[in-house]
Structure 1
Amino acid sequence: MNKLQAMEVFIQVVDCGSFTKAAEMLNLPKATVSTLVQTLESTLSVKLLHRTTRQVMITSDGAAYYERCVQILSDVRDAEESLSRHRLSPSGRLRVDSPTGLASEILIPALPAFFERYPDITLELGSTDRPVDLVEEGVDCAVRGGELIDPNLIARRIGVINFMTCASPDYIARNGMPQHPRDLERHRCVNYFSAKNGKILNWDFTRDGERIEVALPGAIALNDSNAYVQAGLAGLGVIMMTDYLLTAHIAAGRMVPVLQEWRSDPLPVHIVYPQNRHLSAKVRVFVEWVSELFAAHPNLRLQTPRPSAVPADLQLETV
Structure 2
Amino acid sequence: MDRLTSMHVFVRAAELGSFAAAAEALGISPQMVAKHVAWLEARLGATLLNRTTRRQSLSDIGRSYYERCKAVLAEAEAADMVALEMKATPSGTLKVNAPVTFGATALAPFITRYLRQYPDTQIDLTLSDAIIDPLEGGFEVVIRIGELADSSLIAWPLRPWKLIACASPAYLAQEGVPQTPADLARHACLVYGAWSSAQPCRWRFQKAGKTEEVRPAGRFRANDWKALLHAAVEGYGVTLGPVDVLQAEINAGRLVQVLPDYEGPARPMHVLVPPGRRQTVKIRSFVNAVSEAFAPPCPVAQKKASPLSIS
**With structure 1 as the length reference, what TM-score do the two structures score?**
0.61
- The one-letter code sitting in structure 1 at the alignment partner of 2:103 is A
What CA distance in whole angstroms lies between the structure 1 residues aligned with 2:271 and 2:150? 13
User: Which residue of the partner structure matches residue 121 of structure 2?
Assistant: 121
Describe how 1:173-192 pairs up with structure 2 within 5 A: 173-192=173-192
How far residue 245 of structure 1 moved from its aligned partner, in angstroms, is: 0.7
User: Which residue of the partner structure matches residue 102 of structure 1?
Assistant: 102
- The one-letter code sitting in structure 2 at the alignment partner of 1:104 is A
How far residue 153 of structure 1 moved from its aligned partner, in angstroms, is: 1.8
What CA distance in whole angstroms lies between the structure 2 residues aligned with 1:199 and 1:118? 45
What CA distance in whole angstroms lies between the structure 2 residues aligned with 1:89 and 1:100? 29
User: Which residue of the partner structure matches residue 93 of structure 2?
Assistant: 93
What CA distance in whole angstroms lies between the structure 2 residues aligned with 1:149 and 1:186? 37
What CA distance in whole angstroms lies between the structure 1 residues aligned with 2:117 and 2:252? 33
What CA distance in whole angstroms lies between the structure 2 residues aligned with 1:200 and 1:283? 39
How far residue 162 of structure 1 moved from its aligned partner, in angstroms, is: 2.0
How far residue 163 of structure 1 moved from its aligned partner, in angstroms, is: 1.8
How far residue 116 of structure 1 moved from its aligned partner, in angstroms, is: 3.7
What CA distance in whole angstroms lies between the structure 2 residues aligned with 1:125 and 1:200? 32
> Which one is further off, 242-251 or 167-176?
167-176
The structure 1 segments of at least 4 consecutive aligned residues displaced by more than 6 Å after TM superposition are none
User: Which residue of the partner structure matches residue 224 of structure 2?
Assistant: 224
1:166 aligns with 2:155: no
- The one-letter code sitting in structure 2 at the alignment partner of 1:241 is G
Q: In 2 relative to 1, CA 254–192 (structure 1 residues): closer, same or farther, beyond 3 Å?
A: same
Q: In 2 relative to 1, CA 278–228 (structure 1 residues): closer, same or farther, beyond 3 Å?
A: farther
How far residue 214 of structure 1 moved from its aligned partner, in angstroms, is: 2.4
User: Which residue of the partner structure matches residue 238 of structure 2?
Assistant: 238
User: Which residue of the partner structure matches residue 154 of structure 1?
Assistant: 154
Report if aligned partners of 2:189, 2:238 keep a CA contact under 8 Å in 1. yes
Report if aligned partners of 1:134, 1:274 keep a CA contact under 8 Å in 2. yes
How far residue 84 of structure 1 moved from its aligned partner, in angstroms, is: 9.2
Describe how 1:21-60 pairs up with structure 2 within 5 A: none
- The one-letter code sitting in structure 1 at the alignment partner of 2:109 is P
User: Which residue of the partner structure matches residue 215 of structure 2?
Assistant: 215
Q: In 2 relative to 1, CA 235–199 (structure 1 residues): closer, same or farther, beyond 3 Å?
A: farther
User: Which residue of the partner structure matches residue 298 of structure 2?
Assistant: 303
Q: In 2 relative to 1, CA 179–302 (structure 1 residues): closer, same or farther, beyond 3 Å?
A: same
- The one-letter code sitting in structure 2 at the alignment partner of 1:119 is P
Report if aligned partners of 1:153, 1:275 keep a CA contact under 8 Å in 2. yes
What CA distance in whole angstroms lies between the structure 2 residues aligned with 1:237 and 1:285? 42
Report if aligned partners of 1:167, 1:257 keep a CA contact under 8 Å in 2. yes
Q: In 2 relative to 1, CA 226–200 (structure 1 residues): closer, same or farther, beyond 3 Å?
A: farther
Q: Deviations over 1:227-249 (max 9, x none)?
A: 33223223232111111111111
Q: In 2 relative to 1, CA 146–156 (structure 1 residues): closer, same or farther, beyond 3 Å?
A: same
How far residue 131 of structure 1 moved from its aligned partner, in angstroms, is: 3.3
Q: Deviations over 1:31-62 (max 9, x none)?
A: xxxxxxxxxxxxxxxxxxxxxxxxxxxxxxxx
Q: Which runs of 5+ in 2 are unaligned?
A: 1-77, 300-311
Report if aligned partners of 2:184, 2:214 keep a CA contact under 8 Å in 1. no
Report if aligned partners of 2:203, 2:265 keep a CA contact under 8 Å in 1. no
How far residue 290 of structure 1 moved from its aligned partner, in angstroms, is: 0.7
Q: Which runs of 5+ in 1 are unaligned?
A: 1-78, 296-300, 305-319
What CA distance in whole angstroms lies between the structure 1 residues aligned with 2:121 and 2:150? 28
- The one-letter code sitting in structure 2 at the alignment partner of 1:90 is P
Report if aligned partners of 1:192, 1:222 keep a CA contact under 8 Å in 2. yes
State which structure, 1 or 2, has the greater radius of gyration over its C-alpha atoms.
2
Q: In 2 relative to 1, CA 228–276 (structure 1 residues): closer, same or farther, beyond 3 Å?
A: farther
Report if aligned partners of 1:129, 1:223 keep a CA contact under 8 Å in 2. no
How far residue 141 of structure 1 moved from its aligned partner, in angstroms, is: 1.0
What CA distance in whole angstroms lies between the structure 2 residues aligned with 1:147 and 1:181? 24
1:162 aligned counterpart, secondary structure: strand
Q: Deviations over 1:59-84 (max 9, x none)?
A: xxxxxxxxxxxxxxxxxxxx9x9669
What CA distance in whole angstroms lies between the structure 2 residues aligned with 1:134 and 1:118? 24
Q: Deviations over 1:262-310 (max 9, x none)?
A: 1123222210122233332211111001112123xxxxx4229xxxxxx
2:191 aligned counterpart, secondary structure: strand
- The one-letter code sitting in structure 1 at the alignment partner of 2:159 is G
Between the two proteins, the alignment pairs up a number of residues equal to: 218
How far residue 156 of structure 1 moved from its aligned partner, in angstroms, is: 0.5
1:230 aligned counterpart, secondary structure: helix
2:294 aligned counterpart, secondary structure: helix
Please give the root-mean-square deviation of Cα atoms over the aligned residues, in Å. Answer: 2.7
